[in-house]
Amino acid sequence: MIFAFHGDLAIIHKLTYRRRNHGNIQVRAYNEEGTMATPFDMVVLNNLDRYQLALDAIRRIPRLGDQIEEASAR
């Protein structure tokens, strides 16, 4: 399970990591550094764009393991 959360990732961690089987949870959230970036820049800088989320899913789904190199090359 991949959470793409537009907020503080600690909130999702608090809600999920006390539960069993939390090893299959990946949280992606904004990491604010006080920069004057556009919303698009923030998405890309924090690896929350659609490409990075899809690539993350491919890397984590065992049956798609043979497609990681092809997906990363694009």
pLDDT digits (tens, 9 = 90+) for 32-48: 666 677 878 888 887 88
What integer pLDDT is reported at residue 74 of this predicted model? Answer: 58
Cβ–Cβ under 8 Å, residues 24 and 48: no
CATH number (domain holding residue 61):
3.40.50.920
Which residue range(s) make up the domain with 14? 2-72
Q: Is 63 helix (H, G, I), strand (E, B) or coil?
A: helix
Confidence of residue 11 (pLDDT cuts 50, 70, 90): confident
H-helix or E-strand spanning residue 26: strand 26-29
Interatomic CA distance for residues 70 and 56, integer angstroms: 13
| Number of domains composing the chain | 1
Confidence of residue 58 (pLDDT cuts 50, 70, 90): confident
Residue 50 clears pLDDT 80, i.e. is over it: yes
